[in-house]
Amino acid sequence: MSKDKNPRRVADNEAMAKLRMLRTSPQKLNLVAALIRGKSVDKALTDLTFSKKRVAQDVKKCLQSAIANAENNHNLDVDELIVAEAYVGKNLTMKRGRPRARGRFGKIIKPFAEITIKVRQVEEQA
C-alpha cells in the first residue's frame, strides 16, 4: 500500500541542477545562460571561468553540480555531455526605498532569479 515512485523529470540520458535565490535580475542572468546553451560542458566551463560577469561564478557552480549529478546519480559519461537547456526564472523581489525630494519616496526593486541547467549525453560522431 505504498505510493508509486515519482517519474523522472528528465530523460534517461539527462541530468539536471537548479540554483535558486540568485541575487541578480533574470535579464542579466539570461545573458550568461545564453552564453553556454548548446555547448559541450568543458567549453561551457571555460567560458564561465573567463567571463567578466559577476553571476558567471554562480552559474559555473550550478553547471558543475549538474555534471556531478550526471556522473554520480545517472552514470553518464562526462566527456560526452552537452548543455541541453539553460533557462532562467524569476524569484522573489525585495522592495526597498529611499527618501527623495519634496517628501516623495523612491522605490528600489531588488530582484532575485533562479537558473535550471540540464545536461545531456550525446554520442560523438566520428
Check: CB of residue 83 under 8 Å from CB of residue 64.
no
Q: One-letter amino acid identity for 90? A: K
Judge if pTM exceeds 0.85.
yes
Q: What is the pLDDT of residue 108?
A: 97
Segments forming the whole domain that contains residue 98: 13-119
- Does the residue 7 lie in any domain? no
Q: What is the pLDDT of residue 5?
A: 85
* pLDDT tens series, the chain, 126 aa: 688 888 888 899 999 999 999 999 999 999 999 999 999 999 999 999 999 999 999 999 999 999 999 999 999 999 999 999 999 999 999 999 999 999 999 999 999 999 999 999 998 765
- Does the residue 125 lie in any domain? no
Nearest CA to 113 among 18, 34, 22, 19? Answer: 22
- Does the residue 59 lie in any domain? yes
- Does the residue 92 lie in any domain? yes
CATH code of the domain in which 105 resides: 3.90.470.10
Distance (Å, whole) CA 85 – CA 32: 13
- Does the residue 31 lie in any domain? yes
Q: How many domains does the chain have?
A: 1
